[in-house]
Amino acid sequence: MSAAPGATDPATIRNFSIIAHIDHGKSTLADRMLQLTGVVNAREMRAQYLDKMDIERERGITIKSQAVRMPWTHDGRGYVLNMIDTPGHVDFTYEVSRSLEACEGAVLLVDAAQGIEAQTLANLYLALDADLTIIPVLNKIDLPSAQPEKFAAEIASIIGCQPADVLQVSAKTGAGVPELLDAVVAQVPAPTGDAQAPARALIFDSVYDIYRGVVTYVRVVDGELSTRDRIRMMSTGAAHEVLEMGVHSPEPVVCAGLGVGEVGYLITGVKDVRQSRVGDTVTLATRPSAQPLAGYKQPKPMVFAGVYPIDSVDFPQLREALEKLQLNDAALVYEPETSGALGFGFRIGFLGLLHMEIVQERLEREFGLDLISTAPSVNYRVVMEDGSQHRVTNPSEFPEGKIDTVFEPVVRTNILCPAEFIGAVMELCQGRRGEQLGLDYLSEDRVEMRYRLPLGEIVFDFFDALKSRTKGYASLDYEEDGEQPSDMVKVDILLNGEPVDAFSAIVHREKAFGYGSEMASRLRKLIPRQQFEVPIQAAIGARIIARETIRAVRKDVLAKCYGGDISRKRKLLEKQKQGKKRMKMVGRVEVPQEAFVAALTTSEGAEKS
Partner 1 sequence: MPAVTGSARSEDARLPLERLVAHPGRQLSCYVHVPFCATRCGYCDFNTYTASQLPGMQVGEYVAAALTEIELARQTLGAGAPALSTVFFGGGTPTMASDQQLAVVLAALRERFGLAPGAEVSLEANPETLDESRLEALLAAGFTRLSLGMQSADEQVLATLDRHHTPGRALQVARWAHAAGFTDVSLDLIYGTPGESMASWQASLEAAVSVDPEHVSAYSLIVEPGTAMARKVRRGELPAPDDDDQADKYLLAERLLDAAGLGNYEISNWARPGHEARHNLAYWHSDDWWGIGPGAHSHLDGVRWWNVKHPMRYATMLSRRRLPVEGHELLDAATRHEERVLLELRLRDGLPLAELDETERARMSPQLDRGLVVEHDGRFRLTVAGRLLADAVTRDVLG
Q: Which is nearer to partner 1, 402 or 560 (CB)?
A: 560
Pick one of 287, 471, 525, 580: the residue that binds partner 1 (CB under 8 A).
Answer: 580
443 is in an annotated binding site: no
Residue 470 CB burial class (10 angstroms; 0-12, 13-18, ≥19): buried
Stretch that binds partner 1, among 299-307, 309-317, 520-528, 575-583 (CB under 8 A): 575-583
Contact 308, 372 (CB under 8 A): yes
Pick one of 570, 582, 585, 594: the residue that binds partner 1 (CB under 8 A).
Answer: 570
Q: Which is nearer to partner 1, 43 or 554 (CB)?
A: 554
28 is in an annotated binding site: yes
131 is in an annotated binding site: no
232 Cβ contact list (under 8 Å, min separation 6): 238, 239, 282, 283, 284, 285, 288
Residue 577 near partner 1 by CB under 8 A? yes
25 is in an annotated binding site: yes
CB of 523 to partner 1, least distance (A): 20
23 is in an annotated binding site: yes
567 is in an annotated binding site: no
CB of 581 to partner 1, least distance (A): 10
Spatial distance between the Cα atoms of 394 and 392, rounded to a whole number of angstroms: 6
Q: Which is nearer to partner 1, 358 or 586 (CB)?
A: 586
CB of 585 to partner 1, least distance (A): 13
Spatial distance between the Cα atoms of 255 and 430, rounded to a whole number of angstroms: 56
Q: Which is nearer to partner 1, 391 or 555 (CB)?
A: 555
Residue 601 near partner 1 by CB under 8 A? no
Residue 237 near partner 1 by CB under 8 A? no
Spatial distance between the Cα atoms of 30 and 151, rounded to a whole number of angstroms: 22
Footprint (CB under 8 A) of partner 1, residues 540-569: 553-564, 566-567, 569
Residue 40 CB burial class (10 angstroms; 0-12, 13-18, ≥19): buried
140 is in an annotated binding site: yes
Secondary structure of residue 202 in the 3-state scheme: strand
- In Å, the largest CA–CA distance within the chain is 97
**DSSP-derived secondary structure letter, 376:** P
Residue 473 CB burial class (10 angstroms; 0-12, 13-18, ≥19): middle
6 is in an annotated binding site: no
Count of residues engaged in binding partner 1, rule: CB under 8 A: 22
**Nearest C-alpha neighbor of 297 from the set 328, 319, 330, 262:** 330
**Helix, strand, coil percent content, the chain, rounded in steps of 5:** 30, 35, 35
Contact 201, 226 (CB under 8 A): no
Side chain identity, residue 42: A
Residue 300 near partner 1 by CB under 8 A? no
CB of 584 to partner 1, least distance (A): 17
Residue 43 near partner 1 by CB under 8 A? no
**Nearest C-alpha neighbor of 500 from the set 388, 341, 302, 277:** 341
Please compute Rg for the chain using Cα positions. Answer: 28
Q: Which is nearer to partner 1, 190 or 583 (CB)?
A: 583
297 is in an annotated binding site: no
CB of 564 to partner 1, least distance (A): 4
Stretch that binds partner 1, among 134-142, 322-330, 486-494, 572-580 (CB under 8 A): 572-580
Spatial distance between the Cα atoms of 407 and 508, rounded to a whole number of angstroms: 11
Q: Which is nearer to partner 1, 583 or 606 (CB)?
A: 583
Spatial distance between the Cα atoms of 591 and 528, rounded to a whole number of angstroms: 7
Contact 509, 488 (CB under 8 A): yes
Footprint (CB under 8 A) of partner 1, residues 480-539: 531
CB of 528 to partner 1, least distance (A): 11
Q: Which is nearer to partner 1, 186 or 573 (CB)?
A: 573
CB of 550 to partner 1, least distance (A): 13
Q: Which is nearer to partner 1, 4 or 561 (CB)?
A: 561
Helix axes 422-431, 462-469, angle to 10 degrees: 150
Residue 578 near partner 1 by CB under 8 A? no
423 Cβ contact list (under 8 Å, min separation 6): none
Contact 283, 199 (CB under 8 A): yes
CB of 499 to partner 1, least distance (A): 24
564 Cβ contact list (under 8 Å, min separation 6): none
Q: Which is nearer to partner 1, 228 or 568 (CB)?
A: 568
CB of 576 to partner 1, least distance (A): 6
CB of 569 to partner 1, least distance (A): 6
CB of 549 to partner 1, least distance (A): 14
Q: Which is nearer to partner 1, 402 or 554 (CB)?
A: 554
Contact 393, 377 (CB under 8 A): yes
24 is in an annotated binding site: yes
Give the residue ranges of the annotated binding site for GTP. Answer: 23-28, 139-142
Binding-site ranges for partner 1 (CB under 8 A)? 531, 553-564, 566-567, 569-570, 573-574, 576-577, 580
